[in-house]
């Protein structure tokens, strides 16, 4: 029972089990998606979820604060270092 994660910019796709963080997936896949603090503080890892938001963990208060600070109002915006896959049998498409 996995969910497929596609990182559009890098033409990468990986099937992962729920519980994996997007940071884990990016690091394992060789994606060039940049990270800074890895703790939801700096905003370096802002990504757009093109589809599959429902397969990800809920947006945290920390994410809301940082996304406002970096001026990213899109409802598709998330912090890659703060998200986890929480449901199987889905497709999550990420753009950065």
- Please report, as ranges, the residues that interact with ligand FES according to CB under 6 A: 35-38, 40-45, 66, 79, 81
Please report how close the Cβ of residue 21 comes to ligand FES at its closest, in angstroms. Answer: 11
- Select 70 or 91, whichever has its Cβ closest to ligand FES: 70
- Select 15 or 24, whichever has its Cβ closest to ligand FES: 24
- Select 2 or 62, whichever has its Cβ closest to ligand FES: 62
Please report how close the Cβ of residue 83 comes to ligand FES at its closest, in angstroms. Answer: 10
Which of 3, 1, 9, 27 lies closest to 94 in space, CA to CA?
9
Please report how close the Cβ of residue 96 comes to ligand FES at its closest, in angstroms. Answer: 11
Residue 90 to residue 79: CA distance in whole angstroms: 19
């Amino acid at each position: 029972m996995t969910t497929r994660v596609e990182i559009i910019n890098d033409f990468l796709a990986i099937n992962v089990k729920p519980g994996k963080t997007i940071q884990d997936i990016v690091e394992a896949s060789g994606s060039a998606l940049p990270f800074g603090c890895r703790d939801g503080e700096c905003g370096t890892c802002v990504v757009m979820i093109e589809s599959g938001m429902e397969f990800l963990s809920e947006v945290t208060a920390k994410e809301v604060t940082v996304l406002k600070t970096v001026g990213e109002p899109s409802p598709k915006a998330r912090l890659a270092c703060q998200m986890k896959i929480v449901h199987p049998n889905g497709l999550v498409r990420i753009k950065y």
